[in-house]
Amino acid sequence: MSGYMSRHGKGETIKVYRPINGMGVEAAKWATYNYKYVTKYEIEPYVKKSTLSPNYCSKFVWQAFYYGEGIDLLDLGNTPDLRGFITPSMVINAPNLVYVTQFTAQ
Q: What is the CATH number of the domain that holds 89?
A: 3.90.1720.10
Distance CA 27, CA 51 (A): 16
For 30-58, letters b (16+ CB in 10 Å) and e give bbeebeeebeeeeeeeebebeebeebbeb
**pTM for the full model?**
0.87
Number of domains making up the chain:
1
Backbone phi and psi for residue 97, each to the nearest 5 degrees, phi listed first: -120, 155
54 preceded by a cis bond (ω within 30 of 0): yes
Residues 1-51 pLDDT 10s? 676 677 788 889 989 999 998 899 999 999 999 999 999 999 988 899 999
Both ends of the chain: CA-CA distance in Å? 12
The whole domain housing 58 covers: 2-104
Q: Can you give the pLDDT at residue 1?
A: 65
Residue 60's pLDDT band, with cuts at 50, 70 and 90, is very high
